[in-house]
Amino acid sequence: MNRALRLLAVAVTVTIGVTLSGCSGKANTPSSGQTGEIKTDVGVSGNRISLGVLTDLTGQFAPLATELTNAEKLYWEQRNAAGGVCGGRFQVDLDVRDHGYNVQTAVSLYASMKTKSLVFEQILGSPMNAALSADIQKDGIVTLPASWAPVLLKNPLMTVVGTTTDLEVVNLLDHLLEQKTLAAGDAIGHIYFEGELGESGLIGSKKVAAAHNLKLVEAKIKPTDTDMTAHVTAMKAQGVKAIVLSTSSGPLASAAAVAATQGMQVPLLGNTQTFAPGALKTPGGAYLKSHFLGAQPVSPFDQAASKAVLDTYLKKYPGTNPTLQISYGWARADVMRQLLESACAAKDLTRQGLVKARQSLTKVDTGGLAAVLDYSTAGAPPTRESYLMKAADAPGGLVLEKGPYRGADAT
């Protein structure tokens, strides 16, 4: 059995025979047991650890966020059944709230949740994380954002799982340069959402364009825009050799349909959030299968680690049309488990103890789900690698092209 499957088996089936009776019943006093005292404060009560999840269950990213959150919930359900964390000392609970992809709602919910949660296992959305970042730092709460905006790296408590949005684009374009699909002097297009999500991707295009003398043709759109006819037509007129999209799947599907209709033969490149399997069932689906290349923080389901997670997930949620948010949620939860275990090893499960534990994580291995992550260098992404994937009729709609991959310009 390979390492990926061994790790999954541990999460799912191991029963740890230890007593929980030595844990304190108070959240703000030290917890004691056979392995010695463990300091605790906010979010720990008796043998329970509460982790906050602030996500989008009813807004524009609800389908993806629901799978992400369900995977995190399932991970902890399995882990708790196997004994929990810290040698069986603690069980982990998720406090899940829905912000509906509304910044003000997220801000209000955060204010009520921060008094009850040790850390935030998930805050979904670039706008939400940007709005909350200063409070998170002031409150000293380690947070795993479901976002990859490079600006988050300025906050030492933001624990990004995967590389940042700009480096995803760098890796995609560097791959095309390596393959000689692009060359110096070529033009490339970039369609991107206004705001942090899209403009972070544009940083990567600008970096590669400057390094390789590429002409960059930009098209900023609103998240409500769905028809890419005008933008793709303009890019065709300027002779672009590839089009990057830092959007959701709607604009991607439209761009593919327009490109097919106009007889274009150029790669369409996309960030993590750009692709959804449903795009393959649109008029542009056939074009995507032959021309799309996306970057993702986790391996696709045709790889052993993600396949094992998918099989476990489908037993709990049969009939699901899966996306890679399932593997991403599982990987995130495993990062959190390793963070909690590190804090327990230092006998400090307080918020400050979690801050110190985060800084000590130099080699977070999720068994092949994500690239190995290093959180020890302030201001740096935990990895500069991405999984590059092609669209295909396969679970999740993607299969591996290359990865984990780091382009020459991903510095």
Beta bridge partners of 167: none
For residue 147, give the 3-state DSSP assignment: coil
CA neighbor of 213 nearest in space, from 185, 188, 252, 253: 185
Token reading at 312: 């476990």
**What is the helix, strand, coil percentage profile of the chain, to 5?**
45, 20, 35
Mean pLDDT by 10 residues, the chain (411 residues): 43 34 35 60 96 95 92 98 96 98 97 97 93 96 94 95 97 98 97 92 98 98 95 98 96 98 98 93 98 97 97 94 95 98 97 96 96 94 98 97 97 91
- What is the reported pLDDT for 68? 96
How far is the C-alpha of 282 from the C-alpha of 397, rounded, in Å? 13
Write down the architecture of domain 3-163+300-380 according to CATH: 3-Layer(aba) Sandwich (3.40)
Structural domain boundaries in the chain: 3-163+300-380, 165-296+389-405
Question: Which residues, at least 6 apart from 219, have a Cβ–Cβ distance to it below 8 Å?
Answer: 189, 190, 191, 192, 231, 234, 235
**Fold agreement between 3-163+300-380 and 165-296+389-405:** yes
Topology (CATH level 3) of domain 165-296+389-405: Rossmann fold (3.40.50)
- Contact at 8 Å (CB) between 113 and 123? no
